[in-house]
Amino acid sequence: MAKKTPEERIAELEKRRIQVEAKLKAEKEAILRAKRRENAKIQNQKRKDDTRRKVLVGAAILQKIELNQWPEEKLMNLMDGFLTRDKDRKLFRLESKRQ
């Protein structure tokens, strides 16, 4: 095997540098994708937890109403002030706010 010239060694080193940089770039991109996936999981869990809290609060209020421990009129007044979409208001038999 013939000894390589300095120019050939420099060319090989440059080729290795390019390969290492490409591998590093790919690894950085993979890490960023993984971080985005994990952040999406966190946000998804937060949404699920928020929905669960809302369902449980609603269930607690409805149970209080069924047991006559909380007046239904109070709930209806609360919902009347809170709901703005006609579809939601109809669910509670409230009049449309569009008059």
- pLDDT-wise least confident of 18-22, 25-29, 48-52, 80-84: 80-84
Q: Centre a 10 Å sphere on the Cβ of residue 9 and count the other Cβ atoms it contains.
A: 11
pLDDT at 98: 77
pTM for the full model? 0.68
- 1-14 pLDDT tens trace: 689 999 999 999 99
Query: What digits encode the pLDDT tens for the residues 36-80?
Result: 999 999 999 999 999 999 999 999 999 999 999 999 999 999 999
